[in-house]
Amino acid sequence: MNQEDLQIRLKVEEMIHYGYAALRQFPKSEKHVLSAEIRQCMYRILRLVIVCNRRYYKKTTMQDLDSELDLLRSLVRLSKDLGFLPFRQYEIWARHNDQIGRYLGRWMQWMKQEASLRRLSRQIRQWQAQYAAGEIDLVHVREHLHSWVNHARHGNAIPAVASMLKQATFRRSTDANPGPNAGRRNSSRNPRRVGAQKAA
């Protein structure tokens, strides 16, 4: 469990503690109606956070979590509008929900960055295999790196991409047959590094 996983779980548990205290003031007529729906929504949010912590592919679960949080916001606002929840308590509860939303936003951004880095790692391995076989040259690799570096700038992932590119080496196989796009200066068997300066 990374830091973001732990923080959002603690924030959700903190929100549930406050929510339970606020729900005690609801009318008895709402105990099995709006109050029950809010409790179940809070439980679903906590469950989705725990499930998301344990899943490798988190995108769908995170979308469900975002939807449940949006529903909880609406239910809490409805409780205030119906007079079941004092405005001061509504403000505090809404602040808890907003904090969870910010943590969720950062969590989703981190997951998108991790997924992008995994795709880049797979792409680098593919380029290395193609270069070793003489199917492409380093010019081809550098050209395609431009889009990855621009994407990394947009996602604030420059340091991670730079570290990955610094470790990438390209070697010609001893039995490689350079294709028509492989220039003379790129056909050496010496290891070459590419693209590290692109991410600077």
Using a 10 angstrom Cβ sphere, with 0-12 exposed, 13-18 middle and 19 or more buried, the burial of residue 40 is exposed
DSSP, residue by residue, 37-56: HHHHHHHHHHHHHHHHHH-S
CA distance 113 to 105: 12
36 located within any domain: yes
Q: Are residues 72 and 137 in the same domain?
A: no
Measure the N-to-C terminal CA separation of the chain; round to a whole number of Å. Answer: 30
Residue 67: which residues within 8 A CB-CB, separation 6 or more?
A: none
**pLDDT of 194:** 55
Distant-in-sequence contacts of 76-84, Cβ < 8 A, 24+ apart = 76/38, 78/34, 79/26, 79/34, 79/38, 82/34, 84/25, 84/26, 84/27, 84/30, 84/34
138 located within any domain: yes
- pTM to 2 decimal places: 0.65
Which one is predicted more confidently, 84 or 57?
84
| pLDDT surpassing 90 at residue 98 | yes
Compute the mean pLDDT over every residue in the chain, rounded to the nearest whole number. Answer: 81
Q: Are residues 99 and 138 in the same domain?
A: no
Of 128-132, 133-137, 190-194, the one with minimum mean pLDDT is 190-194
Residue after which a domain boundary falls, among 111, 143, 168: 111
Q: Are residues 101 and 30 in the same domain?
A: yes
Overall average pLDDT of the 147-176 stretch:
69
**pLDDT of 191:** 55
Number of structural domains found in the chain: 2
Q: Which domain holds residue 13?
A: 3-111
**pLDDT of 140:** 79
Q: Are residues 78 and 138 in the same domain?
A: no
CA distance 104 to 106: 5
**pLDDT of 170:** 76
75 located within any domain: yes
Q: Are residues 41 and 140 in the same domain?
A: no
Q: How is residue 133 written in tokens? A: 């076989």
Q: Name the percent of the chain lying above pLDDT 70.
A: 77
Q: In degrees to the nearest 10, what's the CA dihedral of 115, 119, 124, 127? A: 180
Q: Are residues 98 and 10 in the same domain?
A: yes
